[in-house]
Each structure stands twice: as structure tokens, then as C-alpha cells.
Amino acid sequence: MTAHKIAVLPSGHLHLITATDEDVAFGIASELPVKLITAFNKSVAAGLTSLVSTACDGPLPASLHFWRDFANRYFTALRRRNATGGKDWHSPEPPDDETLREILASAPPMLGLEYATTESLREQWSGLDELTAAAATKRKGGLAGYLHSLRPEWNLLGRVTFHLAENKKNPDRPFAFLATYTQPESTGGTPRHIPLSEALKASIAAGDTKQLDALLTPVARAAETCPSIATMLQSKALFAPQAWGIGQAYEFFTSVPQLEESGVIVRVPDWWNAARPPRPQVTVRVGTKSQSVLGGDSLDLDVDVTIDGQPLTGKELAALMNAREGMALLRGKWVQVDADQLESALQQWEQLRDAHATGVGFLEGMRLLSGASITGDDVDETLQPWTRVEPGQWLAETLDALRDPSGNLQLDPNNRLNASLRPYQADGVAWLYFATKLGIGVCLADDMGLGKTIQIISLLLQLKYPETKSKKKVAAKKAKPPKGTTTNPSLLILPTSLLGNWQREVERFAPDLNLYIAHRSSVDASELKRIADNPAKELAGYDLVATTYGLARRQKWLTDVDWNLVILDEAQAIKNSGAAQTKAIKQIPARGRIVLSGTPVENHLGDLWSLFDFCSPGLLGTAAQFKQFVNAKDEADRTARLASVRRLISPYVLRRMKTDPRIVPDLPQKTEMRVDCGLTTTQVALYRAVTDDLKKSLDIASGIQRRGMVLGALMQLKQICNHPALHLKQSDFDVDASGKYSQLRSIAENIIEKQEKMLVFTQFQSMCGPISQFLAEVFGREGLILTGKTATKKRGQLVKQFQHESGPPFFVISVKAGGTGLNLTEASHVVHFDRWWNPAVEDQATDRAFRIGQKRNVLVHKFVCRGTLEERIDDMIRDKKQLSRELFGGDGKDEIQLTEMSNDQLIDFVSLDLTKAKS
């Protein structure tokens, strides 16, 4: 069988998806009964209903356990709302906003969890209600019949009810118990409660064995879960009103969930909540005193015993410590008391406080606050119900600022940035600056296209010029290191494909930042060796040094520099904690560490540990400790532990989404991004061969022959940039033979994490199949293809499939076939796999996704092979206003007329820049 897990779509709807081996290893996915899978395929409500009514062989994965609990909450509320039965039934009210937020906070990591909101939870609740209404209408016996079909013990009419109420007139036996039976009037009117003894006598007298079974079966089940009920059943005391002492009442209170599961209705005072009974707790406040830098053992600890947040007096605490019946009357209300547990918790925290007279470290303090006892030496997990750990005033304000910088942090923007930051970007810079000054490593995980690069650039300017007051922008100048600069440089490690983008962004937005690119595409081997011999001297005055992940492993001198910041772009490159590259990067010293990611980092727990082992070493313990912690055998415990991990990392991660209502007004409706691609060795050889042949042929050709020769050569070069097999007319499109495939994979993996969709355009019809086959392997499911050969009737069917929310995640389209007549607004991403000569054609293709009525920001990824004619075409298109008119046609189409160039111009235009092109 295939393992599955549950995921949340951008709409907030749920669906089952195929899981990975890593998901299974971390308890996030498992094999599920066919009945359950079929139900989810039918509808979300049907799937949730099946979750609570279908028995599974093993423990449920954490995500499904969470949603089963949510569905159980609905059915419990439904049964309580309609406990008296009757012809008419009532829908249960959904939980209030505060409760819904608490439910979301308790969720374990799952794909798309960021799309789950209080509103989407209400929609799931409504979906369950609509399904229940439809099923109850069709079912014989109405709601009671429907619930009985789901779980036989879920009866309504003919229900046994156990009542427990306070009896304030009897201080020795302060609780009263009564068992009743709910029976409808013979006329079908309002049901009524009668004492269980009377119902039993009437059934015996009438010889009604069916009625006797309805009476005694749930009572027998209840007796198996609660010793007090078993004793009373045996002695027949169950059939008469009883006055109970504190101990007997407490045993009953703690058995409420099991009694309800046995098929009995339970009525208890409103102040009792079985999930969170009122109880005194040892309250620990961490970080009350102000700190400037979070280093060493700096967070103070205060320990007290409280009830409802108010400290107990010595007399009250002494009375609680002497309580031995499970409950005690405190300040006029009953509270749960376990003197041994309370005393153990108090001793544990007092010992911890005394052992850390100067305070606890920030990482340990964060684990204490989240309840994530990953390292095993924080607290005894069994004492957590009797402990409340909360941040002191200073730490609370600090965490508020880290979790939500908007409104909590203010930083005057540095006016040396040649751009105006959007409000959320300014918040991001303030957050990064705040974290850097505190000395904690963080992860900026904004959605792709929200401007992580410019936020980092702005941060670096802020660190370099913290006292800038001038409102005047600084004019651009060459990046020559200024003398006398003493600030240590920061190190940026990134994929080779992003080097050009960072260089362009720094030159455009921050010419005052002195950038050095330690890569063979920018400097020769001798210069890199000179830096390796004396990095401190050679890099003096530079603000930012950029290198690639591949070179970071080989450039040993990186560990000899005391870097200000080490920044990782596309930080998933270090997800494999055992890789030599990852180990080398983690050895690089820095005063602060920042990782950049475009996806929710908590979706993959193995990757999560490695990322935080870099930016905040020790927070998640060792790899073995972390895996052991999240792999609890009990499904409820595992779900709770995974939720605690989410709480633990939340202050360290800033993630904003394109769909966030607070972000949407600041975004352009479509964002275009150039994606630099390298060439493989095979592509380089083929490209050189074509350009060499062209150079020889140009000397002997002219007129129409020359034009045809040039167009043929240009087409061959574009084919080679796509894939060698396309040029060679081969059928084997090896994924490692093209530099564009790795970039397409990266974008596709991001889309998978976001549960979004993509369009891929190519001008080569024969490229559509190989691209689709490659993406099907990445997505784990098939997509769609549209070419000029696709029948008109089928085009509409394909569009309809793609536009369905749970339809295929990608659509590969030939540019000419997809130029008009398509409305594909489900796509959030458009990829131009190759560049058209005419930018208007590209724009027309992009508009298949970007249409009137489009509710999402569209990211347009334009693939460009570095050092090739594709890069030069892109430069010309982007800088069209500065082009000489002879390069454009005069027919209004803006097509680049490469055939009209001189021989020297053309060869220069198509020639290969090997240092830039090589992957």
C-alpha cells in the first residue's frame, strides 16, 4: 500500500496526497484503509467523517490525528446539542475565534498548514454540518440513525445520561449523582428524562429485551472505564440518587471522555473541562529583566505557584499540599490537585532556578517556553500539566517583535538604498536588524517574489550606515572599497545561478555596498589564491563577499575570516546534514547567521533540523535527539510534540505569503524574474561547434542564403540551450544533460510546497513531451500538454481540468498553440523555458494566467542560459529603450532582427562566454 498524508490547499480545503519515505520515517504519513482514501476522494467532509468512524490498524500520522480530533470535536458538540433526541435536531455552533486559534496553534507541521485559518476551520465545520444534514434526511431514524451508522455507541434516543452536580448543602458529600434515561413521548413529542431505575422496571415488566439492551449496554461499557460506576452497578446503587464525596466525584470527572465514548451522555458543572481542568500550576517566568544581547546564560527565572495567574499564599499552598482526594475547594471553586505532582514540579523548577543563578541560555529558555523537551534535560514531561512556562515582560516584548515585526518594530529606512521598500519589506529589514543585534540566527522564508534579496541588501546598508540621517539618495558609483572601513565583511553563499541576480541587484539598489564575487565567473584562479593566502588583508573594505555552495566546500580560507554575517540563499542546499558541503559551511565562523528560503521550512523535519543546526545550533538538539523527540509512539503525544516544535521555531522564522491580505495591496499583479541557467559540458561542446561552423560559413554566404544560415544557426543554439537531445533529434532527454532542468526542478519543488500550479511555455513543440515527463516525476503526478496538434474540442477539456482546484499541477504549452483563447487563472507561476524573439509573444503567453479576475500574484520565470545568445537577447529586451533601431523590425512587432547584424556583430552576439556559462 502507498502511504498518505493530509495537506491544505491554498483555498483552505484539505486533500490526501502521496507521502515520501521521510514523511513515514518522521510519523507524518502512513498507510491508510481504502475506505478512508475513498471517502476523502469523495469530499473533505466525507473524509473527516470517515476519520472518526473508521478503525485503522496502526497509529494515525500526526496530520490526520489532528484533523480527526477536529472532526471529533464537531460530532461531540453535535451529540451534546441533541442529547435529548427528538424529531427536530440542531446544528452545533462552531468554536469561537479564540478556541479556533488555539486549535491551529496545536497543529503539527503539515503541507499547506499556512493556508489553514480560523475561517477555513469554520468552513470545515460547516462542511461536516451540511453532510450530516443531508445524511440525516435520507437515513431512517434521522440524525440518531445516521450517528448510529457511524458509531454504534453514538445513540441519541434512548440514551443513558449520568448527571453530576454540586451539592453545597452537604460539605461532607458535596456532589450529587443521578442516572437517567432519555425517552421520547409516545406521541413523538419532546423527549423527557426518567430515572434509570424506572426505565429498567418498565422494560422488565414489558419483556422488552431490545429496550433492556439499550439501557444496559452503554452502562456496562461505562463500568469498564470508571471503577465508581462498576461498583455502583454491582451493588445496584447506580439506579438511585447518590451523594458523593470528593474522591468519588474526582474519579468521575476524570473519566468523562471515556464515559462519553462508551455511549453515555454526561452532564457535569460548566467549570469542569476534561481537556483542561482547573488546577494550580507552578508558573515559571523566563526573561523578565532586559537584555541587550542574547548570549550565554542571560535569561532570569522566576518560580511561583499560581491559580488563574494569581500567586497563592503560603497558607493556600500548604492546604493544597495536604489535599489527597484529587480536588480541593480553593477561593470558592473546585480545582484539580495532585499534591505529589505539584510538589515535584515545584521542586524541579526551584532546583533549575537555583542551578542557574545567573540565568538560563536563550535556546534553553525557548525550549522551556514551547514545551519541546528535545534534549531530554530540560524538564520532566510528565510534570508539564502542572507547569506553566511564560515569558517575562522583556522576553514577551522581544518575542512579540520577532513573531510579528509589523507594528512591534520600527527602523528608519536607510536612505542609501536606491529604492523604496514596500511596507512588509521594511518590516522584514527591521526584523533582520533586530535579530542580528540580539545575536540570534534566523530564517527569512518569504514567498518567492516578495523581495528577500532587497531586504538583505537593505539590512547590509543598515549595518554599514546605522547613523544615516540624510534624506538624499546617494548617486551610483563604482564599487571601490573605501579606505578606513573596519566593519567585518559578510559572506553570502548561494547557487551559481543566482550570482548574476545578486550582482545586478547590489549594483542597482546599493552601489555603496562593496561586493566581491569569489567565483571563477568573475575572477581568475590566481586572484582567488591570493585571497586564500591572506583573506583578512585582501577583503578589507568589502561589505559582502559572495561565493557558491560548491566553492564553499573547497575554499578552506572561509573559516579563517571572522565574518559579520553568513547568509545562505536557497538554504535547502544544506538540508542534507551529512553532506561534506553542509559540514563545511557549518564550520564557517560568524557573529550572526541568516538563511533564506521560499517555502515553509517546517514541512520537512529532517531539513528543518539541518537548517537550524546552521542558523541556531543547539536549538533542536542533536539530530538523534530531535528524531527521537518527534517520533513518539503515541499518536496524540507525537502530534503534541510536533506542535511544540512549531512553537519553538516560530520566533526564528519570518514568513509572509503572496496571499496574505496585508501583503496583497503592496504587490504588483505580476512579477517577472530572470532565472539564470548554466550549460552542461555537452551543451558547451555543441554550442561551440555551431558557433564555429557559423563563423566559417558567414565568410562565404550572402543575401537570402546568409539569412537562412543565420536563422538556422540561431535556432540550433536555442535548441542546445534547452537540451542537447532537442538539437540532436534524440529521444533520450537525460535530466542531467541540461542546466535548465535543475532550475525547473527547483521552481517545481517550491510550487509543490505551496500547493500551487504552473504553466510552462516553450517555442519547441517537440520539447513539450520531455518537459511534461520530467515534471511528472518531480510532482509525482501527471500534468497536461497543449500543442498545435491538440484538437480544438480537447483544448477546452484540458483547460477545465487545469482550472479545477485539485486538477493537474502543471500545464506545458507550445507558445504558438497557447497564444490566444486560453484562460488559465489557476496558475500562480509562468515559466518561459526558452526566450522568444518577440517580447510581445511572451507577454501574450503570460497573460494566459494573468487575466482580469485573477486573484493571485503571478510570478513569471524567464529562463536564460548565462554567457549565451539567450542572455544577450534578454539584456536587449530589458534595455529596449537604449537599443539602436536597426536591431528591431519596423513592423511594430518589436522582433529582434539578428539576421541584419554584420558578421562581426553577429559572432560577438552568439559567442559563448565560458566562464559565465559553465554550470
- What would the pLDDT profile of 194-221 be if each residue is shown by its tens digit? 888 888 888 888 887 777 777 788 889 8
Residue 375: closest CA among 617, 643, 668: 617
Distance CA 146, CA 134 (A): 10
Q: Cα 676 to chain center, whole Å?
A: 27
The x, y and z cell numbers of residue 362, run together, are: 536563550
pLDDT at 886: 37
Q: What is the mean pLDDT of residues 741-767?
A: 94
For residue 98, what pLDDT is reported?
92
- CA neighbor of 594 nearest in space, from 560, 564, 552, 623: 564
How many angstroms separate the Cα of 280 from the Cα of each of 321, 327, 370, 383, 720? 11, 11, 20, 13, 72
Pick the closest to residue 505 from 614, 628, 419, 382 (CA basis).
419
Burial of 12 (0-12, 13-18, 19+ CB in 10 A): middle
**β-strand 563-568 against 784-786: which pairing, if any?**
unpaired
CA 667 to chain centre: 21
Closest Cα to residue 867, out of 520, 530, 621, 555? 520
Closest alpha carbon to 299 in 360, 258, 341, 346? 360
Burial of 666 (0-12, 13-18, 19+ CB in 10 A): middle
> With bands split at pLDDT 50, 70 and 90, how would you rate the model's confidence at 445?
very high
Q: How many CB atoms lie within 10 A of CB 657?
A: 18
Check: CB of residue 646 under 8 Å from CB of residue 605. Answer: no
For residue 490, give the H/E element and its range. strand 490-494
Instruction: Please list, in sequence order, all residues whose beta carbon lies within 8 angstroms of the beta carbon of residue 552, skipping any fewer than 6 positions away.
Output: 493, 558, 581, 584, 585, 588
Q: C-alpha cell of 860? A: 513569471
In terms of Cα–Cα distance, which of 456, 501, 506 is closest to 476?
506
Burial class (CB in 10 A: 0-12, 13-18, 19+), 848: buried
Mean pLDDT for 181-202 is: 72
The total of other beta-carbon atoms located within 10 Å of residue 314's CB is: 8
Residue 260: its pLDDT value, please? Answer: 85
User: How far from the centroid of its chain's Cα atoms is residue 263's Cα?
Assistant: 38
Please say whether the beta carbons of 463 and 436 come within 8 A. Answer: yes
Which pLDDT belongs to residue 852? 44
Given a contact cutoff of 8 angstroms between Cβ atoms, the answer to whether 153 and 224 are in contact is: no
The answer, yes or no, to whether residue 896 has pLDDT greater than 60, is no
Which residue do the cell numbers 518531480 mark? 778
Q: What percent of the chain has pLDDT over 90?
A: 45
- Residue pair 860/670 in contact by the 8 Å Cβ criterion: yes
Grid cell at residue 15:
486533500
Q: What is the pTM of this model?
A: 0.83
The pLDDT of residue 484 is 33
- Would you state the pLDDT for residue 354? 87
* Least trusted range by pLDDT, from 80-84, 280-284, 725-729: 80-84
pLDDT in tens, 603-620: 778 889 999 999 999 899
Band of pLDDT at residue 890, cut at 50, 70 and 90: very low
How sure is the predictor about 296, in pLDDT bands with cuts at 50, 70 and 90? low
Q: Give pLDDT, residue 634.
A: 81
Rounded CA-CA distance 815/829 in Å is 16
CA dihedral (344, 349, 350, 356) positive or negative: positive
Task: Name 354's Cβ contacts closer than 8 Å, sequence gap at least 6.
Answer: none
Is 181 in contact with 215 (CB distance < 8 Å)? yes
Q: How far is the C-alpha of 650 from the C-alpha of 644, rounded, in Å?
A: 10
Whether pLDDT at 788 is above 90? no
DSSP character at residue 365: H
pLDDT at 820: 57
Give a three-class secondary structure readout of 413-440.
CCCCCCCCCCHHHHHHHHHHHHHHHHCC
CA distance between the termini of the chain: 40
Q: Are strands 829-832 and 858-865 parallel, antiparallel or unpaired?
A: parallel
Q: By CB neighbour count within 10 A (0-12 exposed, 13-18 middle, 19+ buried), where does 384 fall?
A: middle
For 85: left if phi > 0, alpha if psi spans -120 to 50, otherwise beta; the answer is left
* Overall size of the chain counted in residues: 919
Lowest mean pLDDT among 149-158, 613-622, 800-809, 811-820: 149-158
241: CB partners within 8 A, 6+ apart: 176, 177, 178
Of 724, 716, 719, 715, residue with least CA distance to 685: 724
User: Coil, strand, or helix at residue 54?
Assistant: coil
Average pLDDT over residues 46-74: 88
Q: How far, in Å, CA of 599 to CA of 611, rounded?
A: 13
Nearest to 834 by CA among 715, 745, 746: 715
Could you report the per-residue pLDDT of 451-480, keeping only the tens digit for each?
A: 999 999 999 999 998 854 333 332 323 334
- pLDDT of 889 reads 43
Q: Which domains does the chain have, with CATH numbers?
A: 3-148 (no CATH), 160-267 (no CATH), 401-666 (3.40.50.10810), 670-917 (3.40.50.300)
Q: What is the mean pLDDT of the chain?
A: 85
pLDDT of 185 strictly over 70:
no
205's CB contacts (< 8 A; 6+ apart) are none
Rounded distance, CA 405 to CA 785, Å? 44
Give pLDDT, residue 806. 87
More confident residue, 589 or 202: 589
Residue 785, amino acid = I
Using pLDDT thresholds of 50, 70 and 90, give the confidence band for residue 536.
confident
Q: Among 86-90, 628-632, 817-821, which range has the highest average pLDDT?
A: 628-632
Task: Give the Cβ contact number of residue 778 at 10 Å.
Answer: 20
**DSSP per-residue codes, 71-82:** HHHHHHHHHHHT
Contact indicator for 428, 455 with CB cutoff of 8 Å: yes
**Residue 523 to residue 208: CA distance in whole angstroms:** 95
CB atoms within 10 A of CB 17: 18
**Grid cell locating 404:** 510579528
Element housing 776 (H / E): helix 765-779
Is residue 270 helix, strand or coil? coil
Q: State the DSSP H helix or E strand holding residue 243, giving kind and residue range, or none if neither.
A: strand 242-244
Of the candidate ranges 100-109, 226-235, 418-427, 894-903, the one whose mean pLDDT is the lowest: 894-903
Q: What is the pLDDT of residue 103?
A: 94
Looking at residue 819, the DSSP 8-state letter turns out to be: S
Cα Rg, the chain, nearest whole Å: 34
pLDDT of residue 107: 92
Residue 301: strand, helix, or coil = strand
- The secondary structure of residue 258, as a DSSP letter, is H
DSSP-based helix, strand, coil % in the chain, nearest 5: 50, 15, 35
Most confident of 191-195, 739-743, 890-894: 739-743
Q: Name the residue with cell 518590516.
A: 427
- Is the model's pLDDT at 142 over the cut of 60? yes
